[in-house]
Structure 1
């Protein structure tokens, strides 16, 4: 299946001389959830803005379902829904009028049943006649999501969608994201809540200083770059490590009652089995053990530090 978004050698340098993106190359598959992670100022919002036609690229190209975003802007943009970081709505309009107008902007025929279902999903139906200026910040965020989905896009961009929102909205939003993916909608999100990316995303992309440092399947990424840690509580304290155990680079606690073994997650089976055999051969008995795998956040921080 052809990618729904193809980004080829994309760069952006502003008039000030600041380079926000450098030669970004990326294919986004239909129906996937791609999480873009990166520090503030890394280029995430600039990348989204170029794909959505808000910012012009300095070099390179972007195609959305085969439509070039510059030469065929209208068709490309009609496939995209965008929830930006900043709240931007007509404060004096009602929720219903705003969402209905947004649908009409994309040339979609009226569909009150669809919009009613959308507002119910976002817990906005009871507020449909309220002016947006009278809503709370969380409700205004819900209106932004409803506007982005009003024309039934095939691609949804969520730029820091849960920043500063309440727990209920965050939960409702991720329920909706799961439903949209089941309907075949492609979702690209940026987030500072890395645990959300870890839970929701199919693939992870890391941007730092305008460069796409890495893009990989989430599970594969955590297997390749993650490390595991095995801690063994010993039956009796060790004064020092036997020489035969030195190849494992074990750490012995100050009290001599705990050993820590760190290893590549890809070599889990052979590494642990070999270690336990060696411990037995050296007469080192343990009474308890537990393991821990590095989180996506730890992998992300390490990647950014290496590329700094």
Structure 2
């Protein structure tokens, strides 16, 4: 899929500058429930940022405030330099939102609903641009079809086309692949990468952790209304990830010598394998030290293999409150 090429979507020179800045943001509803607690967050221009958190963590409230759907209790948010409250019209034109729910007029055609969405933002007609969006989303052949006749995956593509119709610089995708099949999910991942290459900043919420692991540049984790971690994906997995080294022994052991017994080294029930769990930051020294100690005790192995924790395992440990 080719990137959407529009003058407003060219990658800016200051690509590392924050395009969204959130400071001291909180939200307490009339019921007394505090959905957000003093959130501070910068989202970089041109990145894919994955916001992860369990149900009720505050993801939807945070997105709704940035998009102008919900008013904050305290704090400030700027979108591409525009305050979302004082300069809400300009801020809103910079943002496209793809909601999780399939909220489209079932009786409209694809072309009519996308054209109408562009007009809502006061943009002049641009049939060539809208044609390119629909072609890039594999919707051009369906442009005259009523939305009610489309499949669930196609309807979700229509939502993306509507969100892109006014040429936003920021795109929020709330569970973009919920309920779609694996093949379509891969197509949508490719589309998101193409949008990023064209200069659009993508903020993604997802329950598919592999989606964030596959696409995101940075990961943010929200828990009980607070951002508990923001980190580059590769750095996060290096810092918090665990690795396991499994040694297949030449001869089974009845037990480990006292000098080798530790929480990080476990002998399999049948004595044929040793499993060593270590922090990725201490990989070289940890493995070298283990192999040296095994040699000193005359323990030989015939094969070895390694595995490492996934982003999902890291996420689960974070939301459960473990370091």
Offset at 1:236? 0.4
Offset at 1:134? 2.2
SS of the equivalent of 2:144 reads coil
1:294 matched to 2:309? The reply is yes
Task: Give the TM-score, by structure 1 length.
Answer: 0.97
Paired position in structure 2 for 1:58: 73
SS of the equivalent of 1:46 reads helix
Paired position in structure 2 for 1:46: 61
Paired position in structure 2 for 1:112: 127
Q: Give yes or no for contact 2:251–2:272 (8 Å, CA) kept in 1.
A: yes
1:76 matched to 2:91? The reply is yes
The separation in 2 between residues aligned to 1:247 and 1:219, in whole angstroms, is 29
Pick aligned residue for 2:105 from 70, 90, 97:
90
Q: Give yes or no for contact 1:122–1:172 (8 Å, CA) kept in 2.
A: no
Alignment of 1:30-45 (within 5 A): 30-45=45-60
Offset at 1:166? 2.4
Alignment of 1:124-135 (within 5 A): 124-135=139-150
Distance 1:136 1:249, change over 3 A: closer
Q: Give yes or no for contact 1:201–1:218 (8 Å, CA) kept in 2.
A: yes
The separation in 1 between residues aligned to 2:225 and 2:305, in whole angstroms, is 39
Gaps in structure 2 of 5+ consecutive residues: 1-13
Offset at 1:264? 0.4
Number of aligned residues: 308
Q: Give yes or no for contact 2:264–2:278 (8 Å, CA) kept in 1.
A: no
The separation in 1 between residues aligned to 2:191 and 2:287, in whole angstroms, is 41
The separation in 2 between residues aligned to 1:17 and 1:244, in whole angstroms, is 56
Pick aligned residue for 1:19 from 31, 34, 53:
34
Paired position in structure 2 for 1:102: 117
Offset at 1:108? 1.8
SS of the equivalent of 2:321 reads helix
- Cα RMSD, aligned residues only: 1.4
- Runs of 4+ aligned residues of structure 1 deviating over 4 Å after TM superposition are none
Task: Give the TM-score, by structure 2 length.
Answer: 0.92
